Structure 1
């Protein structure tokens, strides 16, 4: 994944709210390049860009120019201006910047812009120079997956919302009421309490804003929340208790001497005003404790931190308590199934027990992607990428769901936004499955009216319908279910079809044709093969016979005769004996498959019952007309040897006919 930061990540997690106005003054004689480096390394990316660009042409040591070009590109990358980052990384490469990481960073910003072909070229170049780094293999695979996921989107619909978004950064929404008519979010738009400009982004420090929906479904103009939460420092990424009376939020503070970092506080709502924020003492060693998300029962608080004991730059942790009035316990890392050597951020505790979070350390589409983690029976976690369109090639994070629906809001920096980070609405439309089928006679291909069709599903579905004159039937299918359709009609063997909705993530209309065989006429078994003059079944015959086993199991009340036929060549005595043995070989096979012996009868017909041509055979062989009987006189009358051989082949067949439809096993009275 692409390791890129953006406003609240820069302010609240990476740069720790250190602006240029807090940096020690430049000492006399300190070079401008040294000063630029200090600003950059302190997190003042926005201002560092200006300093680097201003000093570039005046550098006395030309060997330092590639480094400056790289630093400009990296600063643009971190603040999210990927187009400019692309330009400056390319300049650094042309100036032969020596650190191979430039190819990795260049590929990252290209991937975020969906330029996957060019990104792959940079990743391949980096791999040549640093073949042992496993990160580049993930980057290469991520490009391939991004293409696949974009071409095959999930069922979610993602749409921008106008009532929260501005040309500034708007992110991390949180519901504030049971009807979802109050929405809190973080923003750097005008109206924030602090009046200082952030040196990392060039925008104001963020505050928490709120918007409300009226009875006409119109959302109000966002305003800073009332009370004591917003300050001159940076507030953001809030989470509310299930009764919406307690807000957990992040605050990042600084002063002239100390890096106070980021901490999590909570505040109570009193008559619409948030009062008396209190700090939650999570870790005294870490300068990053941020992005809280409170569980539905109020007993678990997820958060992000760089505290010791983690797996990467920032991990997702949790603290728990036994009751609302108890103190919080010690921090617990959520483990390697969720956390990586990269950055895990913006956790969301879903009411169903799953966890959503963003990461740049896993396979994904570019930037930060959102992942869903579900807990298995053994307590371990399993994560899955939310894929496109919830995720994009840019940064996607700060998700929140309605409790009972697959819908909510998500933050993204994708191209369709108004500016910087924007909030999008997402939802999963109802997935509808319908099946329309027709029941037909397998010989005439004509619809069979007044047929009963039963639908049986693995979810317990058991429906029945009768076809009209057109033989058509329709059913609504449940999702994630396997179905069997069985057609029944007097004088016919049951027909059967199968369908499944498992793994299908979008609405779909299915079609089916159920063929039924009349019990009034013999039914030929296709592809029953024997060696010349032999009666042992050849292996390729088993497929057809296994279908006959299925037919007998689907029609448990029938008994049948297996009839074997030869052509007219050879003596009658030889053909009768051969055909009887061939018929018996089929019976023996069926008995081995569990069919009761008293349901089966073997009969050898030799050449006594020549084949009668039907409409389907006529379509394949136009010189054979429907109704023709392939006896010796007819075959001899054909002038072409190849045509006569076709007739002999048609006569050599194995058929079954229904003897009874009232069979009951001996153990049933």
Structure 2
């Protein structure tokens, strides 16, 4: 992309006076230098090649090779520029900038690993220049962003784009079906060929989109806007009643800088454009106008003195009555760098979007955004791939508050030089689904209630189908599972304990996801043994390790506030019946006391000591430490245990009978504390 095409405010310089053919043959280098100084890089490159072919001195040949590379760099022919910078380095060109520019061309050609090598080489040659470290970091980020792109989807608007340059799109109606853009296509108003590019001058064109989404043939705006000079970079206010644009006039073959003009709508047409009176010298370039939604401020790009380096973004306040502009204010080093910042756009939410080749980026110009903070902007961030690429990306515009619009890029695969691309942010489609099963039988539970609770305050409940399946996807046009929310999900059912709550989050997700959550319910019909409830011999006090297991019961009771339970404690058959009964009752009471100490209401609890009267029936095979298998269904009565050959096996069987369990009594308890 040509400098002029990237920024309409670039200087427009006519060709230097022609030398005679004989003189040119004798001094190609001098004429090439003149062409280069006049920004006529195409012509300069060809002349430098002729000079290089005839030159005998190695140092001059190296300089001419470097100048050829410079021509292609300014023409944004990055592949040719990379090739010639490599040749300049091989020819021992002494200026370290050759290495820096080679790195930048490699980056622009997506050769990130090779570019990092050259940036590191430049760092050795110019250790005080931050561009080496910043360039290498940009390459690392660029590769990372390509490997993990943002959610934006982009598409080349092939119906709009032609073989030349089409750029800087702007919505031109309130329904967002008309687009103004800048183009150098055939049919431009000016009859003179642009001396910088050798192509047409740019004009402002319009296209309209029909109900089927098809764009009309592009037509130029009238002479009220387009002239024999370069026009472009249009901006319209929200009412589409006022248009701002850039024009770069040439008077008597002299560059007069660039100006911002405005025009008021007159019915279906535009009125005669007038210059916006921004206080700068005539030869200083200003352009790329962008209004704030309330039309109180006008942002623009300029290379005027007092900036941060190259072309900066500036702002003037606009008087609402007189439309007079205040003094230009530079946006400062947060936004502007020593390089170029251009193409500002202020979103309806106040966010500033702009293009820059000075911040960490992927290649040439990248598009950035900065959040509004009072009267300033902060937090500059790159829009990443695929909005940005290794090429030049700039001139973004949004469709009101929506996350869609257009921008410009000269990336690989385009139709012309600069092309207009559309973008949109597809909605995230998050789903959570699964099957609710009985934890003991593994059979699906039909009719279970599944509740989804969001950190945004949302609560949704569904019922499982005949196969125990639930699915939270769409509720009409709304999504059950929303972006940037953390959720808890659980199942409940009569005669079952509530399932454990499963936590998942969509915070930070940039792709659609399906969360598969299997939920299990446990029947409350049978006693449930509490594992690892230990007591010292002949005592009822809980040992510390027993409390961990009981804390799990506390959690279950809190998650199921409607149940009341009977706590049962059992002993083995050794010892007398009366002592075992008393000990088991005391142990059940100690469990109950612990639960009460943890906030469980005493009305929900009953303590009962069974003594040795209810030996355990194994629900699954018991394999002892000695390797004996006692089959499931065996009731561990004393007579059976004493028939076991090993004392160790007998002790393990007796230990199975020493247990604490609980049984749900009711499921409709209502707390008196509510």
**TM-score of the superposed pair, with normalisation by structure 2:** 0.85
Counterparts of 1:179 and 1:622 in 2: how far apart (Å)?
81
Q: 1:366 aligns with which of 338, 360, 363?
A: 363
Counterparts of 1:414 and 1:360 in 2: how far apart (Å)?
15
Contact 2:248–2:257, Cα closer than 8 Å, also in 1: yes
Contact 1:172–1:411, Cα closer than 8 Å, also in 2: yes
Does residue 494 in structure 1 map to residue 498 in structure 2?
yes
Counterparts of 2:672 and 2:343 in 1: how far apart (Å)?
68
Counterparts of 1:616 and 1:358 in 2: how far apart (Å)?
71
Q: CA deviation at 1:378?
A: 7.9
Structure 2 SS opposite 1:435: strand
Q: 1:265 aligns with which of 242, 255, 261?
A: 261
Are residues 59 and 560 of structure 1, via their aligned partners in 2, closer, same or farther at CA, if it must alter by over 3 Å? farther
Does residue 339 in structure 1 map to residue 336 in structure 2?
yes
Are residues 563 and 262 of structure 1, via their aligned partners in 2, closer, same or farther at CA, if it must alter by over 3 Å? farther
Unaligned runs of 5+ in 1: none
Counterparts of 1:42 and 1:633 in 2: how far apart (Å)?
111
Matched ranges for 1:222-261 at <5 A: 222-256=218-252, 258-261=254-257
Structure 1 SS opposite 2:258: strand
Could you say which residue in structure 2 is the equivalent of 1:71? 67
Could you say which residue in structure 2 is the equivalent of 1:537? 544
Structure 2 SS opposite 1:226: coil
Deviations 1:76-101 (A, max 9, x none): 12222111111111111212222222
Q: CA deviation at 1:250?
A: 0.9
Structure 1 SS opposite 2:217: coil
Are residues 491 and 345 of structure 1, via their aligned partners in 2, closer, same or farther at CA, if it must alter by over 3 Å? same
Are residues 245 and 614 of structure 1, via their aligned partners in 2, closer, same or farther at CA, if it must alter by over 3 Å? same
Q: CA deviation at 1:493?
A: 1.6
Counterparts of 2:392 and 2:361 in 1: how far apart (Å)?
11
Counterparts of 1:628 and 1:73 in 2: how far apart (Å)?
90
Deviations 1:596-629 (A, max 9, x none): 46555677889886665446999xx995654345
Matched ranges for 1:96-495 at <5 A: 96-214=92-210, 217-256=213-252, 258-285=254-281, 287-323=284-320, 325-376=322-373, 379-476=376-473, 477-480=480-483, 481-495=485-499
Deviations 1:325-350 (A, max 9, x none): 43222222333332233321111122
Instruction: Flag the structure with larger Rg.
Output: 2
Structure 2 SS opposite 1:210: strand
Q: CA deviation at 1:292?
A: 0.9
Q: CA deviation at 1:472?
A: 1.5
Structure 2 SS opposite 1:119: helix
Could you say which residue in structure 1 is the equivalent of 2:86? 90
Contact 1:227–1:273, Cα closer than 8 Å, also in 2: no
> More deviation in 359-368 or 566-575?
566-575
Contact 2:621–2:629, Cα closer than 8 Å, also in 1: no
Structure 2 SS opposite 1:517: strand
Q: CA deviation at 1:412?
A: 0.9
Structure 1 SS opposite 2:86: helix
Q: CA deviation at 1:45?
A: 2.2
Size of the aligned set, in residue pairs, is 658
Does residue 18 in structure 1 map to residue 22 in structure 2?
no
**TM-score of the superposed pair, with normalisation by structure 1:** 0.86
> More deviation in 622-631 or 213-222?
622-631
Could you say which residue in structure 2 is the equivalent of 1:521? 526
Q: CA deviation at 1:397?
A: 0.9
> More deviation in 40-49 or 632-641?
632-641
Unaligned runs of 5+ in 2: 474-479
Structure 1 SS opposite 2:287: strand
Are residues 437 and 32 of structure 1, via their aligned partners in 2, closer, same or farther at CA, if it must alter by over 3 Å? same
Counterparts of 1:128 and 1:654 in 2: how far apart (Å)?
74
Counterparts of 2:655 and 2:38 in 1: how far apart (Å)?
88
Are residues 37 and 662 of structure 1, via their aligned partners in 2, closer, same or farther at CA, if it must alter by over 3 Å? same
Could you say which residue in structure 2 is the equivalent of 1:51? 47
Counterparts of 2:91 and 2:128 in 1: how far apart (Å)?
25
Contact 1:452–1:467, Cα closer than 8 Å, also in 2: yes
Counterparts of 1:133 and 1:649 in 2: how far apart (Å)?
77
Are residues 256 and 322 of structure 1, via their aligned partners in 2, closer, same or farther at CA, if it must alter by over 3 Å? closer
Counterparts of 2:656 and 2:308 in 1: how far apart (Å)?
72
Structure 2 SS opposite 1:261: coil
Counterparts of 1:99 and 1:644 in 2: how far apart (Å)?
91
